[in-house]
Structure 1
Amino acid sequence: MPNMYESPSYETYMAYDIFPEQQSAMLPVEGTIARGHTLFEYGSSTAEYDRAKAELVSPLDSTQVDFARGKELYDIYCSTCHGTKGDGQGNLVKREKIAGIPKYNDAARAINEGSIYHVIYYGKNAMGSHKNQLREEERWQVAAYVMKLKADL
């Protein structure tokens, strides 16, 4: 059995003659979730945003919230548009590249951690999704920091 000693190596997701009709044989099993990830059970619609706002709560307790880390991530991904204080006066707004960024304490925007997390995950209006830039725990850190900015305003 020489193939047992000198087996050919295969790269994941590449096409091979060994599976001519089943190229998916090298793909992960359907329904699997990568380590360190959890299933996000909210869709991207407005109704799902409202549901997340009503139901979704942070899994982080007060000892796990790290405002310094949240600020660091916020400054990287959010402050360009939303401003360092959450007042909607980021550099892109000041340079008139975008408009209409409301303040976090705007009465018309009753935001909470669940709605913030949903917006980070899917985006909203002109804001794009940041789910690929931030891991789950980092999204919650940013959401906690945004709530702190809202309270400071």
Structure 2
Amino acid sequence: MKRWCIPLLVVLAGCRGQASSDPPIHLFGDMDWQPKFQPEEGTRLFPDGRAMRPIVEGTVAQGALDESEAYRTGKDGETFLAFAPITVDEAVIRRGQDRFNIYCAPCHDQSGSGQGMVVKRGYPPPIDLASERALGLPDGEIFNVITNGVRNMPSYRKQIPVKDRWAIVTWVRVLQHSQHARIDDVPEAQRGNIAKESGTP
């Protein structure tokens, strides 16, 4: 190969993509003209003439297998679960706080008192999550309300995955506990910090 051919090839390759009315030069066309079906394209390969194949019956997306009906519904038969069927750790609590502040705080506000921004603009106030009534709800019923809605509250079944709904339930319990906590609930080594922050002697 002559020496001047190499720079010429480099120049030709670099010209691809420049504004021009001429078709581009394809040195390696295998990636440009690969055999494939476009969306909604037909084919004689299958009896129904569709290139896009329906999902095989029973297919479950990775990570979306619901092995437990109680986990998916918050109920054991017709009875609401007393406690969330998940392992609660710091990551779950933080996730619950994050999802609560996104989906729930507009009505319930971040403290759960029911005085969110939309309520201040005329929307009917929701239940105070620290009230005796809310304290008496089992975890499964709170999960069910998030899933299906109740009264003025819409369903969040489509917006919030099951895992995140349980995380929100966990955060609701944290909010409730924060409103009804006693000094005995605080580790003794940290009680001095509370006194300093509150300004009490």
TM-score of the aligned structures, taking structure 1 as reference length? 0.70
Query: Are 1:38 and 2:38 an aligned pair?
Result: no
Gaps of at least 5 residues in structure 2 are 1-32, 180-201
Query: Are 1:104 and 2:156 an aligned pair?
Result: no
Q: How many angstroms does 1:76 deviate by?
A: 0.9
Alignment correspondent of 2:101: 75
Q: How large is the RMSD of aligned CA atoms in angstroms?
A: 3.3
User: 1:36-75 alignment to 2 at 5 Å?
Assistant: 36-39=63-66, 41=69, 54-55=80-81, 57-63=83-89, 66-75=92-101
Farther off after superposition, 132-141 or 86-95: 132-141
Report the 3-state secondary structure (helix = DSSP H, G, I; strand = E; otherwise coil) of the residue aligned with 1:59.
coil
Alignment correspondent of 1:146: 172
Please give the alpha-carbon distance, in whole angstroms, between the structure 2 residues aligned to 1:22 and 1:111.
54
Please give the alpha-carbon distance, in whole angstroms, between the structure 1 residues aligned to 2:85 and 2:114.
27
Please give the alpha-carbon distance, in whole angstroms, between the structure 2 residues aligned to 1:124 and 1:24.
43
Query: Are 1:130 and 2:156 an aligned pair?
Result: yes
Alignment correspondent of 1:3: none
**4+ aligned runs moved over 6 Å, structure 1:** none
Aligned residues: 142
Farther off after superposition, 120-129 or 137-146: 120-129
Q: How many angstroms does 1:81 deviate by?
A: 0.5
Q: What amino acid sits opposite 1:91 in the alignment? A: M
Please give the alpha-carbon distance, in whole angstroms, between the structure 2 residues aligned to 1:114 and 1:15.
46
Q: How many angstroms does 1:71 deviate by?
A: 1.3
Q: What amino acid sits opposite 1:79 in the alignment? A: A
Alignment correspondent of 2:55: 28
TM-score of the aligned structures, taking structure 2 as reference length? 0.56
Larger radius of gyration: 2
Q: What amino acid sits opposite 1:137 in the alignment? A: K
Task: Answer 1 or 2: higher relative contact order, Cα 8 Å, separation at least 6.
Answer: 1
Q: What amino acid sits opposite 2:86 in the alignment? A: L
Gaps of at least 5 residues in structure 1 are 1-5, 43-47
Q: How many angstroms does 1:64 deviate by?
A: 5.8
Relative distance call for 1:24 and 1:123 in structure 2 (3 A) is farther
Q: What amino acid sits opposite 1:33 in the alignment? A: V
Identity of aligned residues (%): 27
